[in-house]
Amino acid sequence: MNPSVLRTPETCFDKLPDFPWAPSYITVQHPEHGPLRLHYLDVGPADGPVVLMLHGEPTWCFLYRHMIHALSRQGLRCIAPDLIGFGRSDKLARRRDYSYAAHVGWIVDLVTGLDLREITLVCQDWGGPIGLSVLARDPARFAAVVAANTLLPTCEAPPKGIPDWPGDIVTQWVAATATAEDLPVGDTVAAVCVSPLPDAVRAAYDAPFPEPRYKAGPLEFPSLIPIRADMPGTAENRATWRLLEAWEKPFVTAFSDSDPSTAAWAEVFRQRIPGARGRSHPVIAGAGHFLQEEQGPALAKVVAQLVEQLR
């Protein structure tokens, strides 16, 4: 195997709580390192309405397990990939081999490779910028969006952005990871939850990263956030916003009540996107940044209700 590409041993995933599903894989490409294996879950009836669930930093599809249980039981087909560098997907050993555009391209490859259509996109954290960029490339494949604790920054003043972007939380996170050589993934997830994480759950978030050398993806992700107008991703996000400002299909925000890092973005989505107007936008109580982990059934209910409206 290419020494610049790492693959987490399967034994690392032997003791995942409440996570019974078999892995699926597709092959995507890196311009320098060639083929990469991208992992995804495909749970529920093959002919059911498609729900595409995209995780962010520093999690993986394990984050969506509560929602997958609930939605697949209701006849929905749940597609939950691991971004390259995360979960069971291959990991590039060098931070410089990751880019915002590459992450978008790999999820485009998943969507087109599986020929997903009439998709309800569920996106949180980095799943928002990536997923909404994928939607902007091929909007005909998407039927609706549920945005949860996410953002789409363009380094523009309100009402196109939020006041004082990027703010202290984002700035400090970018600075803390810029030169770091390790990241306590499970502890990072636990730190932004409002309830304690069981030890087995914390260990499951650590499972994809048995050594620091596997963590280039999560270490580099914060540095890819467009916090200046001249950064890669800013122009792309502005192009995505131009598409979203004409998006009239359903768009629902379902942010949690305890996530100061993203809370202000909910109003930006609601004001700028036509498909969000006149809709109910619930606030999920009792959750921090990773509301899928803490209140997955509540978020699944929002998704199921929206899919039912599409039928």
User: Torsion-angle region of residue 180: left (phi > 0), alpha (psi -120 to 50) or beta?
Assistant: beta
User: Torsion-angle region of residue 290: left (phi > 0), alpha (psi -120 to 50) or beta?
Assistant: beta
Catalytic residue among 82, 125, 138, 257: 125
C-alpha span between 231 and 98 (Å, rounded): 14
C-alpha span between 49 and 159 (Å, rounded): 34
Q: Let me know if 97 is a catalytic residue.
A: no
Q: Let me know if 39 is a catalytic residue.
A: no
Burial (CB count within 10 angstroms: exposed 0-12, middle 13-18, buried 19+), residue 46: exposed
Catalytic residue among 66, 168, 259, 281: 259
C-alpha span between 83 and 53 (Å, rounded): 11
Q: Let me know if 259 is a catalytic residue.
A: yes
Cα within 13 Å of Cα(188), Cβ side: 15
- Three-class secondary structure of residue 122 per DSSP: strand
Catalytic residue among 30, 39, 66, 289: 289
Give the residue numbers annotated as catalytic, written as ranges: 125, 259, 289
